[in-house]
Amino acid sequence: MVQTVLFVSQQQIENHIRTRPGTMLISITSPGDRDAIIPDGYHSVLRLQMDDLYEEATGDPVGLYPDVGIDDNPVLWHGLRMPDGNHALQIMGYLCAKDSSARHLIVHCHAGISRSAAVAQFVSDRFGAELIGANPDTSCSNKRLLRLLNKVADGEPLTRFKQSPQPGIENPVKQAYAQTQGLF
């Protein structure tokens, strides 16, 4: 099981971090951005694409957006891909499927402070891995991704839209939320 976890920026992973045996890597980039250039030598690599969004940052109520999009498609906010339940399931599957020889985990995202910090915080909290590095502060972690990881780990069902929105509805997520609140 993972004993240490380090979260860093994409620049750090490409230019400064040296691989060592028994290290897993989770590479998080935004859709449309180039993939990180990852040196050889990692035990294994999981690549994910999501934008750095969460309800608290967008000014929307927590829970407004479903955990999983329509027909398991991405959850979008103004065309940007939010972290979703599928990402959390992939991360959990990756962490739990690897053999015990992997003792270290490195997680990177663009700046190394939000999405990667959420995964690192989760691994530290859930698996007791030590947060390492020059600044292991996870206070800026992506709250949505952390919530989803905890939800999956706890076996809670993921919320989802059951059917596609009707044509002509400008924002079906906000409309659905307004209906649940009795706003119309």
Q: What is the pLDDT of residues 141-156, one digit of tens each?
A: 999 999 999 999 999 9
**Rounded to the nearest 10 degrees, what angle do helices 143-153 and 85-97 cross at?**
60
| pLDDT at residue number 106 | 95
Q: Domains of the chain by range and CATH?
A: 4-180 (3.90.190)
Asked if pLDDT for residue 176 goes beyond 80, the answer is: no
Rounded CA-CA distance 96/132 in Å is 21
| pLDDT at residue number 53 | 94
**Rounded to the nearest 10 degrees, what angle do helices 115-127 and 85-97 cross at?**
50
| pLDDT at residue number 175 | 54
Average confidence score pLDDT of the chain: 86
Sheet holding 130-131, edge to edge: 44-49, 23-29, 104-109, 4-9, 130-131
| pLDDT at residue number 109 | 97
Q: Which of 21-35, 44-58, 102-116, 123-137 has the lowest mean pLDDT?
A: 123-137
| pLDDT at residue number 21 | 80
Question: What predicted TM-score, i.e. pTM, was given to this entire model?
Answer: 0.86
Rounded CA-CA distance 104/77 in Å is 33
Tens-place pLDDT, residues 18-55: 887 889 999 999 999 999 999 888 989 999 999 999 99
Rounded CA-CA distance 113/102 in Å is 23
Asked if pLDDT for residue 181 goes beyond 60, the answer is: no
